[in-house]
Structure 1
Amino acid sequence: MGNDMHGGCPQCGAELPSDDRFVVWCVGCAWNVRGGADEAGEDAGRVDRFRRRLSRAYGEELFGRMTSAQPPRPGRGTTYAAAHALAGVVHLLTLAVAASGLWLVVTGWDVVFLGVLGIMLLALAWLMRPRLHALPRDGVRVYRGDAPALYGLLDEVAGALGAPRADVVVVDADVNASVQVMGLRRRIVLRIGLGLWEPLTPQQRIALLGHEFGHLVNGDTRQGLFVGSALGTLAQWYALLRPTDDTRGMGLIATVARLTMFPPAYAALLLLRLLEHLTLRASQQAEYLADDLAARIGSSAAAMDVVDFLLLADTATFWLHRQGVSARTVHRGRTVGRQPAETVWEQLREYTDSIPPHEVERRRRLSVLTAHAENSTHPPTHLRRAALAVREQRQAGVVTDVAREKEIDAGLDPARRELGRKVLNG
């Protein structure tokens, strides 16, 4: 590891500061900013180039609107109404199938086939029903009694935003975080990935929490029960109806049955894509607003640091994977002195802290070159950071002290040990 100079840039002659662990590139002229990756995608066909230009223009237009004096909020306009209308059609179709099945079961037994068809329609309606999400089975659940200091911080952040309090925290090893409303009881489940949480400073963690709880108050259409469950229902319809690609050994009847599945399957897929398109702008607006709430709670500087770290998410994920491979190799070789599981997170923090600024800058420029994915629910990372930078710079609304931070960490220690073992054991 180190910051050796790799001579001059072959394009502009400038010196190339580098770290042997990362791509050698030129900060001045951006030579090799892609790290040798094939750049042919930029010169792809006309359709791809058109889509890229369109999505870039859309992303920049939305960025301009979200950084204006009065940024729009999700839940307004014709697309909002259209999304709810389409979601209503989806739910009505499910109810229609259920009602038809019930009617045939009650009245159709004079012709046995109709009664059987009614039972089949009821079973289909059950499979088509909206999913309200159950508590995740993976990860480690941390309840209030296990981590009172952590929940105290969560309650303070939620209270400052006017958001509902978290009911359950689920901790996993991912480089991610999310909040969801689950089940008939509409329980608030906060998911914390230690791969993201551990490398952040205490103030950056507060900004992260502000972002996640912000999704509960910023009008994110996809977080709502009505539209969110319709998206899940359409995905379930397509999964149920999609014909298998493997036709080997199929007889004539099976082949005909497979062909008849295409129209309803792809009708469901078309509706799913349409509903996703209608909610895309609201979803991206919600991300900008959640970032603004993160700045309000954790400070603008901390919120920008969190967004910067997201540029390194794949690097942190690969590092964790490599630790598991290395630990399992050492174990098979019967080498003694394996590291304690909980030290994985301390080492991850040391690794991410050692990533040089020029690698972060390279990732930021890559975001400019490769972002604006047409179907992305998040705005490009560089635009999220730019939006935070041009807005009024905020001081932290919620802070902690060293004693409180130690109590918060202590509540997560059992999860650290268990998930550290999971990382090392695969």
Structure 2
Amino acid sequence: MIEKRIQKLNQKIGEGIYLSALQDFASGRTSRERPGALLWGLSALVVACPYVFAALGAGLLFVDFPNLLTLVFGGAFLGLGWMLRPRKPQLPVGAVGRDSLPETFALLDAISAQLDAPKVSKVVLDNQFNAYAAEARNTPIVGIGALLWLASDRPQRLAVLGHELGHLAHRDTRRIALPDRALMVLNAWQKFLDMDHYVDAHTGVLERESNGIFADLFSAALRGIVDTLTWAILKLSFAESQKAEYLADASGLRVAGRQASLAALDLLVRIDASGALRSGILPRQGEAGFDFLSRLAATVDQLPPDQAARALAAHSAEKLSLDTTHPPTAYRQAFINGLPEALLESPLEIANWTAIEVELKAHFEKIGRREIAAFEVQ
């Protein structure tokens, strides 16, 4: 009974997010840098926590130095504040600049101009069926997975990149920065509260060392607060994220057109469904790294038609939920189909596709060689 009510509530909230995204795109309200008021307030409260502890510790040391008791408590509060502090995001390992990928950056610049998005400063290439946009130290970053790129055709690549740069255009990376930092603080709290846990050497079971009834009750209450705040911020973040995905899909549509955007979503479904086909693929003797990656990517199109149809049907039947960062594929496709032509621009015409593909092939060759080397080590 309770599960059905939760499912209905998720459905109602999800539909509200869907309709709100349509309204926002139609009215042009897509550039908020602050999350929703409740999410922003909770996140700000959590992020302030380490600094409050640090200030309290410094205050104790300043007021009654060198009293032993204040030294102990002041030092403890300072240490707790330092341990709980959120870390600034670092540039991803392997991020490359314009000198390494001039043709690829020319493509990204053209998309940024179409969407009025900030220019990308760094690109990260990896071996994934994925692409992403991020921002670290005020540096816009785009990640391009070699397998996703090789599995896509040119219009689909344009749709995917348009989607990712749409996140930058809508300032989504900045909007989630504060909630992300709050989750870092809460994760640090969870690690702190787990310091009295240990693995029993005889049974291998995780046990907890008791510190007395009052300390245990305080720890349990604090754990409940931390878990509740984590749950609330995650749920509210998922709602923000789902809306951001709809609006980023609209950006992909502006860059690549409706058909390419719908095809890109179908491709993502087939990627998930074809995982079993890739599990048995091993490098061949003397095989080039790029060729090995190409064989892995080709499995997406080798999925039998009946399996592909079942996968697409399963995604079409997926219900809305606030337990994921992305809305169901069927709703995303309905959103794309629901956008009127009058709101869309002409798809970009890219003249240097061949040069881009040649440029990326050299980098994918290195990635593929690392993958082959990993198999050889095993």
Counterparts of 1:167-246 in structure 2, within 5 Å, are 167-183=121-137, 186-218=138-170, 220=172, 223-242=175-194, 246=198
> Deviation at 1:75?
7.8
Corresponding residue of 2:7:
52
In the superposition, relative to structure 1, how do residues 244 and 115 fare at CA in structure 2: closer, same or farther (>3 Å)?
closer
Corresponding residue of 1:282:
240
Q: Matches of 1:375 and 1:202 in 2, distance apart? A: 32
In the superposition, relative to structure 1, how do residues 223 and 190 fare at CA in structure 2: closer, same or farther (>3 Å)?
farther
In the superposition, relative to structure 1, how do residues 409 and 365 fare at CA in structure 2: closer, same or farther (>3 Å)?
same
Is the contact made by 1:243 and 1:262 (CA closer than 8 Å) also made in structure 2? no
Q: Matches of 1:322 and 1:264 in 2, distance apart? A: 47
In the superposition, relative to structure 1, how do residues 221 and 208 fare at CA in structure 2: closer, same or farther (>3 Å)?
closer
The question of 1:63 aligning with 2:35 is answered no
Q: Matches of 1:111 and 1:281 in 2, distance apart? A: 49
Corresponding residue of 1:85:
41
Corresponding residue of 2:265:
307
The question of 1:374 aligning with 2:374 is answered no
Q: Matches of 2:101 and 2:35 in 1, distance apart? A: 42
Letter of the 1:409 counterpart: E
Q: Matches of 2:160 and 2:346 in 1, distance apart? A: 12
Counterparts of 1:206-355 in structure 2, within 5 Å, are 206-218=158-170, 220=172, 223-242=175-194, 246=198, 248=200, 253=211, 260-323=218-281, 326-327=282-283, 337-355=285-303
Q: Matches of 1:106 and 1:345 in 2, distance apart? A: 61
> Deviation at 1:74?
6.5
Which residue, 382, 387, 390 being the options, matches 2:335?
A: 387
The question of 1:144 aligning with 2:98 is answered yes
SS at match of 1:141: coil
Counterparts of 1:65-144 in structure 2, within 5 Å, are 65-67=20-22, 70=26, 73=29, 80-137=36-93, 140-144=94-98
Is the contact made by 2:31 and 2:169 (CA closer than 8 Å) also made in structure 1? no
The question of 1:409 aligning with 2:363 is answered no
SS at match of 2:303: coil
Corresponding residue of 2:347:
397
Letter of the 2:157 counterpart: R
> Deviation at 1:222?
6.8
Is the contact made by 2:167 and 2:173 (CA closer than 8 Å) also made in structure 1? no
Q: Matches of 1:395 and 1:305 in 2, distance apart? A: 18
Q: Matches of 1:59 and 1:50 in 2, distance apart? A: 14
> Deviation at 1:192?
1.3
Q: Matches of 1:341 and 1:79 in 2, distance apart? A: 42
Deviation digits for residues 62-88 of structure 1, max 9, x if unmatched? 334434584795688x98112222222
In the superposition, relative to structure 1, how do residues 251 and 310 fare at CA in structure 2: closer, same or farther (>3 Å)?
closer
Corresponding residue of 1:12:
none
SS at match of 1:146: coil
More helix by share: 2
Structure 2 unaligned segments of length 5 or more: list them: 202-207
SS at match of 1:190: strand
Kindly report the root-mean-square deviation, in angstroms, between the aligned alpha carbons of the 2 structures.
Answer: 3.0
TM-score by length of 2: 0.84
In the superposition, relative to structure 1, how do residues 81 and 253 fare at CA in structure 2: closer, same or farther (>3 Å)?
closer
Give the share of equivalent positions with the same residue, in percent: 25
Is the contact made by 1:179 and 1:189 (CA closer than 8 Å) also made in structure 2? yes
Deviation digits for residues 378-402 of structure 1, max 9, x if unmatched? 111111012112323556532213x
> Deviation at 1:125?
1.4
The question of 1:360 aligning with 2:308 is answered yes
SS at match of 1:169: strand
Corresponding residue of 2:119:
165
Deviation digits for residues 297-346 of structure 1, max 9, x if unmatched? 111111111111111232455444432xx34xx7xxxxxx3422210232
Structure 1 unaligned segments of length 5 or more: list them: 1-45, 331-336
Deviation digits for residues 244-285 of structure 1, max 9, x if unmatched? 664637665499866643322331221122122233332211
Report the more deviating stretch, 286-295 or 390-399: 390-399
In the superposition, relative to structure 1, how do residues 321 and 422 fare at CA in structure 2: closer, same or farther (>3 Å)?
farther
How many aligned residue pairs are there? 364
